[in-house]
Structure formats: structure tokens, C-alpha cells
């Protein structure tokens, strides 16, 4: 089963306003599993659960070091609990939607239901270590996001810290090789911010997982291959 585990919604200020459930479902075509994540929030995940896809709830936390770390969960409740804590560590300023991009809540039919005024595009004051521990404390699987790109751990820090992070999301052969040298499992995703990007890169998970928990177990057991538009 093909899985694209890094798909943003219209809640992320840098994502297209058409990243709503009906459009994402159509755009994903033969991708059967989608990881729905937004910057520092999982509040739009519930709206995507009724798609005819297996949805893995997630969040992309921006740490004080300006490193992005993904967290994937077996259930949406855990993702929302982590979101609540992350919000406590974001700047207490109101988001400027006109200048910095709209942050929109959406329902399952694709109707916009409100604005998020918490500034999701800002880094939290959580350290990378604290963010990883927060994800793990709610049963989540932390993943280093786009390690060799801006806000990736290699781009920002130049090395992989000695943390309990089992997986790295990569976009290049060099990133893949560096991650595997540290015995990290490697995944590829679209990191889609626009409908046309969904499914450009994916993992092909062995078998037929029926729940987010089973998907995450497959990844931890390296039961998948890499697919899509690879830069190597």
C-alpha cells in the first residue's frame, strides 16, 4: 500500500488554501495511506479522517533550534494532546493572516470553519530533545523531517543528535546515506503544500495495514520500499 506521510492542510500558513479533504482525497489518487500534518498543530486532522484513505495523525513541531520534527500517532486524540502542549510553547502574539498566510480550520466537506490565530509558523521554545520526548510520551513515533533541507536537522545542526528518533525523512541520496550511517530508517514523502504535490514521493508498505498503529509498526520493522520521484 502506497503511503505519503507528510501532507499539509490549509491550517499551515505556507500551504495552499485548497489543501482541504475533498481536494486532497482526489489529488492522492492511488495513494492509500496519508499522513496529515501541519506546522505545530494537529487540529485539522479530524476533518480528514472520513476520507476514503487510511489517515495517520501527525504534527510537525518547529523547535527552538529551528529544526522540524514530525510526530505520528496511532490516534488523533494523542496528536491533539501534543498540540495543546505545543501551543503553550509558541509566542503569545496574534497571527497576521494577510501578511503571513491564512491558517484555516476546515470540516470534512471542505468548508472553512474559522481562523487559527496562534502563530503556527513560528518556532516553539521546545528544544529538539524536549519535542522528541513530548511525542514519545504520548505514544508517538518521532521522525526527523526533510533532514538535508532548510529546517532539517542536518541543515540546521550538521549532525544527528543522539536522541530516540528511529526514522529520517530524506529528499536526496546524500541524506539517505547519512541517515543510514546512523542506523536510521529512511522514508520519503511529498511534504505536500499544494494538491499537485500529493503522492510525488511515497513509501510502499508491505501487506495491508488497517490502522495507523500498523503503519507505524511496518515502518519500524523496515517493511516498505521507497517510491515516486526520487532525487537519486
Q: Rounded CA gap, 97 and 12, in Å?
A: 11
Which residues lie below 8 Å from residue 221, measured CB to CB, with a gap of 6+? none
State the pLDDT at residue 232: 78
The span from the CA of 161 to the CA of 230, in Å, is 26
Please, what CATH class does the domain formed by 2-228 belong to? alpha beta
pLDDT at 4: 99
Measured between alpha carbons, how far is 2 from 5 in angstroms, rounded to an integer?
A: 10
Query: Which residue do the cell numbers 475533498 mark?
Result: 22
The pLDDT, as a whole number, for residue 231 is 74
Q: Which residue's entry shows cell 505519503?
A: 4
pTM above 0.95, yes or no: yes
For the chain, residues with pLDDT lower than 70 are: none
Map grid coordinates 501578511 to a residue: 99
E strand map for 39-179? 54-62, 68-72, 104-106, 112-115, 141-144, 167-169
**Residue in the structure block whose three cell numbers are 487540529:** 43
Nearest 5 degrees, angle CA 50-CA 137-CA 160?
100
Q: Tell me: the pLDDT tens digits for 130-187? A: 999 999 999 999 999 999 999 999 999 999 999 999 999 999 999 999 999 999 999 9
Q: CA of 50: how far to CAs of 24, 73, 125, in Å?
A: 12, 17, 33
Neighbours of 97 (CB within 10 A): 14
Amino acid at each position: 500500500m502506497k503511503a505519503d506521510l507528510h501532507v499539509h492542510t490549509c491550517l499551515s500558513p505556507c500551504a495552499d488554501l485548497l489543501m482541504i479533504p475533498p481536494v486532497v482525497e482526489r489529488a492522492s489518487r492511488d495513494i492509500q495511506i496519508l499522513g496529515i500534518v501541519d506546522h505545530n498543530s494537529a487540529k485539522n486532522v479530524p476533518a480528514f479522517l472520513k476520507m476514503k484513505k487510511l489517515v495517520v495523525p501527525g504534527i510537525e513541531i518547529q523547535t527552538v533550534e529551528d529544526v522540524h520534527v514530525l510526530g505520528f500517532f496511532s490516534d488523533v486524540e494523542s496528536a491533539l494532546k501534543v498540540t495543546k502542549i505545543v501551543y503553550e510553547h509558541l509566542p503569545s502574539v496574534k497571527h497576521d493572516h494577510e501578511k503571513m498566510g491564512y491558517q484555516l480550520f476546515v470540516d470534512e466537506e471542505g468548508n472553512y470553519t474559522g481562523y487559527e490565530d496562534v502563530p503556527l509558523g513560528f518556532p516553539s521554545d521546545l528544544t529538539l530533545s524536549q519535542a522528541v520526548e513530548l511525542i514519545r510520551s504520548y505514544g508517538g513515533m518521532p521522525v526527523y523531517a526533510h533532514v538535508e533541507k532548510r529546517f532539517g536537522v542536518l541543515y540546521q545542526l550538521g549532525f544527528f543528535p543522539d536522541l530516540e528518533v528511529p526514522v529520517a525523512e530524506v529528499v536526496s541520496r546524500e541524506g539517505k546515506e547519512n541517515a543510514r550511517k546512523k542506523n536510521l530508517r529512511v522514508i520519503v514523502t511529498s511534504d505536500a503544500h499544494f494538491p499537485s504535490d500529493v503522492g510525488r514521493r511515497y513509501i510502499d508498505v508491505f501487506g495491508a495495514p488497517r490502522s495507523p498503529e500498523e503503519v507505524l509498526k511496518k515502518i519500524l520493522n523496515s517493511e516498505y520500499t521507497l517510491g515516486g520521484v526520487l532525487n537519486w
